[in-house]
A and B are shown apart, each in its own frame.
Chain A
Amino acid sequence: MAKTDNMAKEDKSIGSGWHFSPDAIHKPAEVDTAAPPSAGRRSFLRKGAAMAGVALAGAGGGASVAQAAKLTVPEWSRTMGKPIPPTDYGMPIEYESHYVRTRSDVFVNRQNYSDWSMSPLQKQQGIVTPNGVFFERHHNGTAKIDPEQHRLVIHGLVKRPLVFTMSDLMRYPSVSKFHFMECSGNTLTDWREPRSTTVQQSHGLLSCAQWTGVPLAWLLDEAGVDPKGKWVMLEGADGSGHLRSIPMEKIMDDVLIAFGQNGEMLRAEQGYPIRAFVPGWEGNTSVKWLRRIKVVEGPAHVRGETARYTDPMPDGKWRQFSMEMECKSVITSPSGGMTLRGGPGFYEIQGFAWSGNGKITHVDVTLDGGRNWREATLEEPVMDKCLTRFRYRWNWDGGPARIASRAKDSTGYVQPTVEDLAREREIVGFVQHHNGIYPWAVSQQGEVTNAIG
């Protein structure tokens, strides 16, 4: 197969094995199944570039791998690079402009203020989600708060009600912790049948960061908690006044008043200048744009604790205060919308596992729809209530496969199937807290599709 210079360049653009078209988020990948095997790779390169979404290169794809073309010295080796400007905030190179979060599009809201955006998990490197693609969920848009004017107040069942400015809060010693955050509604479109194409759509209400802040226990102690105070109400300063109540035991254990995320101050959409961070619990308990903390005897049972963020149960019941995000995992590569471009051969299966109740201890991977499982490798660091990356080396035989992961956490809890969950809960309407095992189907053409249900 003789290659022109042109071809060589095309090859380079997908040399990392990744090629992406934003279209793939909205529609399933198309692949050239009609082309004969020898022409298949080349014709895929062209078609792939246009529309095939994310493609995975298989190494050792067999006899059809041609000799590489002779190298040329590229333009960027023969010119000066861009000089350093006096100051700037660096942005990713234009070739990575496809690495973006996307507004909810499987379930489409009729306004974009009480709405959400999903993180591109299939393209995340490592366990830390960059701040610019960290998922969002707001109830009345992104508030813009002047940190000089912002105030945080602590009152209710305390001896001394207190008010803090941002500079007051930043005078305390701070702590930094790596933790995931997941929305209670993550994966809610995909219980009974595949609705999402990509893992971004099915699992993108999940991200992970290093959070910096002050333990709320310290501030409460300063205010002097009355022994009658058993719950703590957290309220946001945005136009939704989002409110959640948290039991005192959790507050005293590990709730942070966070102002830092991944090395910088919070982004506006993450609650700038200050938010609560409640490790391992559903995202909406980590109230953003935090303005008020009230110590109370019991929860107020506001809309966000009754009519929303509750789970339908059999006999018309609703489960309330289901805060912990239970152990869950998903394969992010290969995942929906990708194609195993290199044909049969070696592929690394990768994914994330996490638990709001502790550390991940095991992840198993199935290639045959759950009949048999093999243990995947957990990559260090494996941290409490944090994304853990797992890897499994797969030699795809080219036949249809059904791949999934299953995690176990330090409490001994094993990630269930949606069947296990549906035996306990009622799957009706928008059901939260979906931590079911999530299968992807791989066709003989290497096309990966959502196989839930």
Chain B
Amino acid sequence: MLSVKLCGAFASALFLTFGAAQASSYPERPDVGFGQPISEADIQPWNIDIHTPSGAGLPPGEGTVAQGREVYQARCLACHGEKAAGGPVYGTMVGGIGSMTERPRVLTPGSMYPYAPILFDYTRRAMPMDAPQSLSNDEVYAVSAYIYYLNELIGEDFKMNAETMPQIKMPNRDAFIVDDRPDAQAERCMSDCPPIGTVADAEWKAGD
């Protein structure tokens, strides 16, 4: 499915280059443009996304587990609790590794994130929730080190930076499959059909 999408996307991009028509649900583009040119340099304050598989976009800076513990106590603990084990507004951010074939699956940065830089990207853009984008890059590296340390993915003397972060081996790295729907195949039966089945019916038939 994805490869089909990518091929399509590639074709559209080619069309764009050659200025030919493209598959669009809307009328042709008017021959006007109102955007104002801006340099990439001037966009930098907003350019905060990280390409998490490679770590491209990770900024300069560094942080340690010990520094991260301090950032955490000051800025995160109130909501996330002691040692990120769960607080008043959010559940645990530690553990769950190995739980993906169990019920429930316990989702934490350690168990769920396929690429370590996801933690940097998310913390920098969205945390602390009451003051997003208020941490320095060093602080984001440090608190990321602390959270991955609590998840036993790195040692206490780990130095988190743009080079080391993408190299952390994440347990859920290979768990993702790209959308392959439609998966369920139903028929439009009109009479003498089986009654509407349940999740339990499916699990019982699969011998679950």
Interface residues of A (CB under 8 A from B): 110-111, 113-114, 139-140, 153-155, 160-165, 168-169, 171-173, 175, 191-192, 215, 217-231, 233, 235, 239-241, 243, 247-250, 252-254, 291-292, 294, 296, 298, 300-303, 306-307, 310, 312-313, 315-324, 326, 362, 364, 366, 369-374, 402, 404, 406, 408, 413-425, 427-429, 437, 439, 452-453
CB-CB nearest in chain B for A322? B179
Q: Determine the main DSSP class of B at the interface with A.
A: loop
Asked whether, in the complex, the Cβ of B202 is within 8 Å of the Cβ of A422, the reply is yes
Report which B residues bind A (CB closer than 8 A). 2, 5-6, 8-14, 16-17, 22-27, 29-30, 32-40, 43, 46-53, 79, 88-90, 100-101, 103-105, 107, 109, 112-115, 118, 121-122, 125-126, 129, 132-133, 172, 175-203, 205-206
Q: Are A320 and B35 in contact (CB under 8 A)?
A: no
Question: Complex: how many Å from CA A153 to CA B32?
Answer: 18
B105 pairs with A428, CB closer than 8 A: yes
**Given A301-B114, A428-B104, A416:B184 Cβ within 8 A:** yes
Q: A241-B48, A369-B196, A419-B198 are in contact. Are A110 and B35 (CB under 8 A)?
A: no
- Shortest distance from the beta carbon of A274 to any chain B beta carbon, whole Å: 14
Query: With the chains together, A364 CA to B145 CA distance in Å?
Result: 55
Nearest-Cβ distance from residue B128 to partner chain A, whole angstroms: 10
Inter-chain contacts of B30 with A (CB < 8 A): 172-173, 218
Assembled-state Cα–Cα distance A164/B25 (Å): 23
Which of B22, B34, B114, B192 makes the CB contact (< 8 A) with A168? B34
Complexed CA–CA distance, A355 and B129 (Å): 35
Assess the B179–A320 pair: CB atoms within 8 A.
yes
Complexed CA–CA distance, A239 and B202 (Å): 41
B121 to A, closest residue via Cβ? A302
With contacts A241-B133, A291-B46, A320-B176 taken as known, whether A222 is within 8 angstroms of B104 at the C-beta atoms is no
Known contacts being A227-B13, A316-B100, A319-B177, is A417 close to B26, with CB within 8 Å?
no
A320 CB contacts on chain B under 8 angstroms: 176-179
Residue in B10, B114, B206 whose beta carbon sits within 8 Å of that of A306 in the complex = B114
A252 contacts B22, CB within 8 Å? yes
B118 in contact with A160 (CB, 8 Å): no
Contact partners of B35 in chain A: CB under 8 A: 154, 160, 162-164, 168, 219, 222-223
Q: Which of A161, A303, A422, A429 contacts B113 (CB 8 A)?
A: A303
Contact of A153 with B43 in the complex, beta carbons under 8 Å: yes
**Which residues of the partner chain A approach B172 to less than 8 Å between Cβ atoms?**
318
Query: Please, could you name 5 A-B residue pairs with CB atoms under 8 Å apart, sorted by A?
Result: A110-B89, A252-B24, A302-B50, A370-B195, A428-B105
CA distance A422 to B38 in the complex (A): 50
